[in-house]
Amino acid sequence: MKILVTGREGQLARGLVEASETRGVELVSVGRPVLDLADEKSVSALISRERPDVVVNAAAYTAVDRAESEPHLASEINALGAEYVAKACAANSIPIIHISTDFVFDGTRDGYYREDDPTGPINAYGRSKLEGEARVARAYKRHLILRTAWVHSPWGGNFVKTMLRLAAERPAISVVDDQKGSPTYAPHLAEAVLAIASRAVADPHGTPWGIYHAVGAGETTWCGFAREIFSSAAEHGLPTAQVAAITTAGFPTSARRPANSRLNCDRLRQAFGVELPDWRVGVERCIARLSESAGNPRS
């Protein structure tokens, strides 16, 4: 199986590169300047040339706060770019797995969001991603849209690495405790994507195309996430800090965040037999790898 992944430097793309090496999967990871999502001809030419068995569109504009002042740029990448990828896939009869976000919801639901619950993004980033979902679905019927959330890994910028950096600078950190969600470890998400891709390639006619949720099992708040990070960090010789719970109002940002980002993943499990591990397992593995990279022995 040959997979083409967009968003070469992203956390999921890097997780897919790593996971593919142990599965014997041929993976081509692309980004700028080889691929320009804003250029339809560039996208079409690349996919026609590579002729993969499946495309994973993991590239995205993810600067949530900056998107408030750059909504057109966010849409150019997250909506138009996604459509260009889907159209190129359709032209070559290649299934597409498109990565989306919990931010397509407004966060007011009492409970876990299901795939068919009403959407209602409350920031520019979320609106651009929702538009991308719609454009992908219209462009090609053989699509799998995976909504994920709170992604972290040993690579790039993410909440885990931010917390560790802040802990090295100060003894106490204030973290929002009234936004709920499910942290998702990028390598766990990558394994799920590979399993889904295998099904889509092996049985395209029997694959249940559509939208699915894929996040770490369980739930927490950003504050709970931070405390778990430092609990694990203490065992691995990494910086720790005391965590004080605050409200969203106490940490104003340019973009509003949904208070509830919990996603129900039953449909994914039922359709593909895929279920991501508990979010705490992901945190432990992420911290262990960061500690190993830092040369810290486990205490």
pLDDT at 297: 57
Average pLDDT value for the chain: 96
Stretch 224-228: mean pLDDT: 98
Contact 296, 238 (CB under 8 A): yes
Lowest mean pLDDT among 31-40, 70-79, 194-203, 278-287: 31-40
Q: What is the mean pLDDT of residues 121-127?
A: 98
CATH topology of domain 2-158+184-217+262-277: Rossmann fold (3.40.50)
Write out the chain in H/E/C secondary structure: CEEEEECCCCHHHHHHHHHHHHHCCEEEEECCCCCCCCCHHHHHHHHHHHCCCEEEECCCCCCCCHHHCCHHHHHHHHHHHHHHHHHHHHHCCCCEEEEEEHHHCCCCCCCCECCCCCCCCCCHHHHHHHHHHHHHHHHCCCEEEEEECCEECCCCCCHHHHHHHHHCCCCEEEEECCCEECCEEHHHHHHHHHHHHHHHHHCCCCCCCEEEECCCECCEEHHHHHHHHHHHHHHCCCCCCEEEEECHHHCCCCCCCCCECCECCHHHHHHHCCCCCEHHHHHHHHHHHHHHHHCCCCC
Query: Which of 163, 156, 183, 157 has the alpha carbon at shortest distance from 282?
Result: 183
Per-residue pLDDT of 172-205, as tens digits, reads: 999 999 999 999 999 999 999 999 999 999 999 9
Q: Which pLDDT does position 299 carry in this prediction?
A: 44
| 261-287 pLDDT tens trace | 999 999 999 999 999 999 999 999 999
pLDDT for the residue numbered 161: 98
Positions annotated as catalytic residues are: 125
Domain ranges across the chain: 2-158+184-217+262-277
